[in-house]
Structure 1
């Protein structure tokens, strides 16, 4: 029992002797926030440049910039106070985010923004700058390679009498069947095609077939649920 009390006393004394607030200058705070904001704007540009989804979210992109600055501010705050850092960990542990992430690459940008905020708030400026440059180059390189062979969904509604002509036009393309729905004499055909350029003249050719009601061509990011 005495050993337990002595151990607790040692812990209490060691904590009380520690400086609760470490000195952090106003200049360091301003530099950290400005740098995290600047790198956040860099992330903003890379996200907009490399976005390949269907609907671009400007609000989400702004969130990346603010997230980097807020994370940097939190790291600078908890690094100055051991008691506050423990309280901040407990407070953040009860936060739950319910926003659904549709594109897995968005999670990468969120972690990138948070990592920049952590590195900048901790004063590791070279890590945040050099790391961001390498990550950006990797994302741009991989997204540019994907542009050479973009995937689309081709949705065709036609009657049974146009089936042979539609098949003939599709055989000219590289396609993969995704879904085929028959409602009485109307067929809904959904196929995945890959284009190396923006030549979409085949859409007019299919639309001109007698019996074809409508043709739609939409961008396809690889996730499809029939």
Structure 2
């Protein structure tokens, strides 16, 4: 029994001809191009990373290469799993969608590596169309209102901010010193839109001891 299992493992190398390998890589290049375009269309601004996008294309080809090497050789596949298990990735993912693109590239490479082009093409087309529709959906932006002024104006600053925003401005941080005070409020985008006709800076600068008023956008892409 053990000899039969060993014989099966050693004799099923799954070696591919040169023509089959070329066809697999041509398909991987085509599918990787679809992934490349999808990522480019669904990401914009500071969130888009050209290097990461190229890496997705390369990941599709590398996965195809690995699958061509493994074939249906069970011994080789187990050895490859053991070798790859020592790899540790430390690249920070800026967008949750990037993880989905990585899995897409790996799955497409696997399909091309085993010559299952139908699943690779149909799956990539469906995901591509879905990302065209949903890819530009962004998270709700949050804003931070930062006010710095003299310690004597603390109560007036709190009162003015709550009056302008109807008591819906959430106080996150209050830093107090002997002669100064700093407030950091969190505001939603809808709240700012409802009060866009009111200039909070002008209202606060009417107080002599207010020094600075900053409004900072905070979202999933980048804090600016």
Which TM-score applies when normalising by structure 1? Answer: 0.74
Aligned to 1:130: 122
Aligned to 2:185: 190
Ranges in structure 2 where 5+ consecutive residues have no aligned partner: none
124-133 or 101-110, which moves further after superposition?
Answer: 101-110
**1:131 CA displacement:** 0.8
Question: In 2, are the aligned partners of 1:158 and 1:212 still within 8 Å (CA)?
Answer: yes
Aligned to 1:215: 214
Aligned to 2:50: 58
Question: In 1, are the aligned partners of 2:14 and 2:70 still within 8 Å (CA)?
Answer: no
Correspondences of 1:14-163 after superposition (within 5 Å): 14-16=8-10, 18-22=11-15, 24-51=16-43, 55-79=47-71, 81-144=73-136, 146-147=137-138, 150-159=140-149, 160=154, 161-163=156-158
Ranges in structure 1 where 5+ consecutive residues have no aligned partner: 1-6
CA distance in 2, matches of 1:62, 1:49: 14
Summarize deviations over 1:128-175 as a string: whole Å, max 9, x none.
12111222333343344x35x742323322433333333333349xx6
Runs of at least 4 residues off by over 6 Å: none
**1:203 CA displacement:** 9.8
Aligned to 1:11: 5
CA distance in 2, matches of 1:110, 1:41: 14
Q: Secondary structure at 1:208's aligned position in 2?
A: helix
CA distance in 1, matches of 2:148, 2:221: 25
Residue 179 (str. 1) matches residue 172 (str. 2): yes
RMSD in angstroms over aligned alpha carbons?
3.6
Question: In 1, are the aligned partners of 2:47 and 2:94 still within 8 Å (CA)?
Answer: no
Summarize deviations over 1:178-216 as a string: whole Å, max 9, x none.
7232323423323141259xx899499223330361323
Which TM-score applies when normalising by structure 2? Answer: 0.74
Question: In 1, are the aligned partners of 2:9 and 2:75 still within 8 Å (CA)?
Answer: no
Question: In 1, are the aligned partners of 2:21 and 2:68 still within 8 Å (CA)?
Answer: yes
Q: Secondary structure at 2:76's aligned position in 1?
A: helix
Question: In 2, are the aligned partners of 1:21 and 1:80 still within 8 Å (CA)?
Answer: yes
Q: How many correspondences in the alignment? A: 211
Q: Secondary structure at 2:115's aligned position in 1?
A: coil
